[in-house]
Structure 1
Amino acid sequence: MRGRGVSHRQAECPVARTVDVIGDRWSLLIIRDAFDGIRRFGELQRNLGLAKNILASRLRELVAQGILETVPAADGSAYHEYALTAKGRELFAVIVALRSWGEAHLFEGDEPRSALLDTKDELPVRLQVTNATGQPISPDDAFVRKVS
């Protein structure tokens, strides 16, 4: 996010550029909440327990980056809401990957936790990394071709 620390906006690495935009915990949690249907400033603040100035700053940046957009309130009131754009919705796999890693490494086996389920069959959502032909791959099956 701009204004804090070193910027990676010109980095050759896509991960570095992405972290510049969504890499702080509050931005990721705002995006998570947007996927959960939380759209209003007050609801986001209550859910996250975040100071208004920090939330306002993160929302401004997410809107500026085209991840969220402001839309009229669904109830027709004078308020506005924050909705994921198409670009923002493409972060779904990122949120699923973070959730999956957290489930595997940060909970005891029987510890209660929320679950991400598909709407049709209510089965757990899983993420699988594949190559361009759809074949599953692991970290051992991939490499980064550096620009320089």
Structure 2
Amino acid sequence: MVKRTSFEGDACPVARALDAIGDWWSLLIIREALSGQRRFGEFQNKLGMAKNILSARLRALVDHGILAIAPASDGSAYQEYVLTPKGRGTFPILVALRQWSEAFDDRPEEIATILVDRAKGRPVKKLELRAEDGRLLSSADTTLKPRPAPRRRSAG
């Protein structure tokens, strides 16, 4: 496997996120984990990945704190991969990718599923970025500015 450049220490939060989840296999593993898959064989069957690639991606996701290894929930000797809070936090990222694909794919009719609210059975609304006051924002409405320096506590 080719060694990727690490963005772990990069000042950009997008680059840092991509360091943890930026390859497509990792995002697909997370997708499957969000759908309830927990075992190596389940991931392999669903994704059709080579064992060595799956092992490397699972190890990286564990190293980044996105997945954790736990004893099998059925009491067997197997181990399972469970999403951590950090891993569950990727859900909006995957929803955003899904909705982007649904909006811009050349053949949207070939997309096999729709995301629905489990309780109501209705499609999920498109994600929106809103200002603190509730206004809908686009990229033209935002900018980056330096983070304020941490406040020093006074002694005494």
Q: Which residue number in structure 1 is paired with residue 6 of structure 2?
A: 7
TM-score normalized with structure 1 length: 0.90
CA contact (8 A) 2:102 2:108 kept: no
Query: For residues 23 and 144 of structure 1, do their structure 2 counterparts lie closer, same or farther at Cα, with a shift above 3 Å needed?
Result: same
Q: How many residues align?
A: 145
CA displacement, residues 112-138 of structure 1 (integer Å, 9 cap, x when unaligned): 421111111112223111223433211
**Partner SS for 1:113:** coil
Identity among equivalent positions (%) equals 49
Which structure's relative contact order is higher, taking Cα pairs within 8 Å and 6+ residues apart? 1
TM-score normalized with structure 2 length: 0.86
Query: For residues 75 and 94 of structure 1, do their structure 2 counterparts lie closer, same or farther at Cα, with a shift above 3 Å needed?
Result: same
Structure 1 runs (4+) deviating above 4 angstroms are none
Residue 140 of structure 2 aligns with an amino acid whose one-letter code is D
Give the structure with higher Rg (CA). 2
Residue 39 of structure 2 aligns with an amino acid whose one-letter code is R
Q: Which residue number in structure 1 is paired with residue 104 of structure 2?
A: 105
The reply on whether 1:145 has 2:145 as its aligned counterpart is yes
1-side partners of 2:43 and 2:129: how far apart?
A: 31
Q: Which residue number in structure 2 is paired with residue 134 of structure 1?
A: 134
Query: For residues 44 and 144 of structure 1, do their structure 2 counterparts lie closer, same or farther at Cα, with a shift above 3 Å needed?
Result: same
Q: Which runs of 5+ in 1 are unaligned?
A: none
